[in-house]
Amino acid sequence: MRHKLKILLLEDSQMDTDLLIRFLSRAKLEFEYRCVWEQNAFSEQLHEFTPDFIISDYALPQFNGMDAFRLMKREGFNLPFIILTGSLMEKNISRIKSEGIRACLLEDDISGLQDVIKKINEQRPL
Q: What is the pLDDT of residues 30-59, one digit of tens each?
A: 899 999 999 999 999 999 999 999 999 988
Distance CA(16)–CA(99), nearest Å, equals: 25
Q: Cα dist. 112→1, 83, 92 in Å? A: 26, 12, 18
Asked whether 19 and 47 are in contact (CB, 8 A), the reply is no
Amino acid occupying residue 119: K
Residue 101, domain extent: 5-123
**pLDDT bucket at 84, cuts 50 / 70 / 90:** confident
Distance CA(111)–CA(116), nearest Å, equals: 10
Q: Cα dist. 66→47, 100, 102 in Å? A: 19, 10, 12
pLDDT of 125 above 70? no
- The more confidently predicted of residues 100 and 82 is 82
The mean per-residue pLDDT over the stretch 116-121 comes to 84
What CATH number corresponds to the domain at position 48? 3.40.50.2300
pTM of the model: 0.88
Say how many domains are in the chain. 1
Q: Model confidence over 2-20: pLDDT tens digits?
A: 578 999 999 999 999 999 9
**pLDDT bucket at 79, cuts 50 / 70 / 90:** very high
